């Protein structure tokens, strides 16, 4: 039997990169998947068409996860489409590499709004709407290496990702009595985000452009979404080939 058969999952930031790979991996493992993009309808439609052609049961839409009103609308859409939800993957994010003294207030607010606020709003809404009533649920938040060690050109991004780690641990503690597991993944893979960083840091470009494809991190997400991880919560797991060792 497929590892995620019978489960329904939400994946934000699913149009490209890690989110697309995770959504595809979940569908291949038997899950029904609701994919969320933000502004690029064509990119989202392409993923949905590809998964449907492979026989997956999927749906999706464009939602701004940094807007609590939009997140409530997302919860309603999932309920109307699938009627239930078992797994949330908070992957939506943006990156604009910039030196510390060049980060504007607008960039700072935007980065934290999408990453940290968006993760919080989705966690809270889906937990209230689905996980508490059904007495179970899995939340998988996406953080980054820069959350645990210094980097260059990523002060806003790293701060948001560090906040996600603290949010993950605190939510795991509070939601434990409700049979809701909350974990975070620090994935390392080649995406549009790492390409943006390579452009900003030419000295690191060769290494960044040699990173493996996002498909290699999918197994970690499948494990955390499956029943095999029922005794795992509050953990920060690196899917990085040992890069953060």
CATH of residue 191's domain is: 3.40.50.720
Query: What is the model's pLDDT at position 53?
Result: 98
In a domain, 1, yes or no: no
Q: Which domain holds residue 95?
A: 8-237
Query: What is the model's pLDDT at position 196?
Result: 73
Burial of 20 (0-12, 13-18, 19+ CB in 10 A): buried
More confident of the two residues 139 and 212: 139
Query: What is the model's pLDDT at position 37?
Result: 97
Residue positions annotated with a catalytic role: 157
In a domain, 244, yes or no: no
More confident of the two residues 12 and 199: 12
Contact 21, 217 (CB under 8 A): yes
In a domain, 3, yes or no: no
216, two tokens = 């290699």
In a domain, 245, yes or no: no
In a domain, 43, yes or no: yes
Query: What is the model's pLDDT at position 198?
Result: 65
For 51-105, how does the pLDDT look when each residue is reduced to its tens digit (9 = 90+)?
A: 999 999 999 999 999 999 999 999 999 999 999 999 999 999 999 999 999 999 9
In a domain, 242, yes or no: no
Average pLDDT, the chain: 93
**Residue of 91, 203, 111, 103 whose CA lies nearest to 153:** 103
Domains contained in the chain, number: 1
Tell me the pLDDT band of 201, cut-offs 50, 70 and 90: confident
CA distance 194 to 205: 9
For 106-144, how does the pLDDT look when each residue is reduced to its tens digit (9 = 90+)?
A: 999 999 999 999 999 999 999 999 999 999 999 999 999
């Amino acid at each position: 039997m497929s590892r995620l058969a019978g489960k329904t999952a939400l994946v934000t930031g699913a149009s490209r990169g890690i989110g697309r790979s995770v959504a595809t991996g979940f569908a291949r493992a038997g899950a029904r998947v609701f994919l969320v993009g933000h502004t690029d309808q064509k990119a989202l439609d392409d993923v949905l068409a590809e998964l449907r052609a492979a026989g997956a049961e999927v749906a999706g839409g464009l939602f701004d996860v940094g807007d609590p009103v939009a997140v409530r609308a997302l919860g309603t859409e999932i309920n109307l489409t699938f009627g239930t939800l078992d797994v949330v993957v908070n992957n939506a994010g943006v990156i604009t590499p910039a030196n510390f003294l060049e980060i504007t207030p607008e960039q700072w607010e935007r980065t934290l709004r999408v990453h940290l606020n968006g993760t919080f709003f989705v966690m809270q809404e889906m937990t209230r709407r689905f996980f508490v009533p059904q007495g179970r649920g899995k939340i998988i938040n996406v953080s980054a290496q820069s959350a645990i060690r210094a980097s260059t050109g990523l002060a806003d991004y790293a701060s948001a990702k560090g906040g996600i780690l603290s949010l993950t641990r605190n939510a795991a503690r509070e939601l434990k009595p409700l049979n809701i597991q909350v974990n975070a993944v620090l994935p390392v893979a080649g995406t549009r985000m790492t390409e943006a960083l390579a452009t900003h840091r030419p000295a690191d470009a060769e290494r960044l452009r040699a990173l493996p494809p996002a498909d290699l991190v999918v197994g970690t997400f499948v494990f955390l979404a499956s029943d095999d991880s029922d005794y795992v919560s509050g953990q920060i797991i690196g899917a990085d080939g040992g890069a953060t060792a």
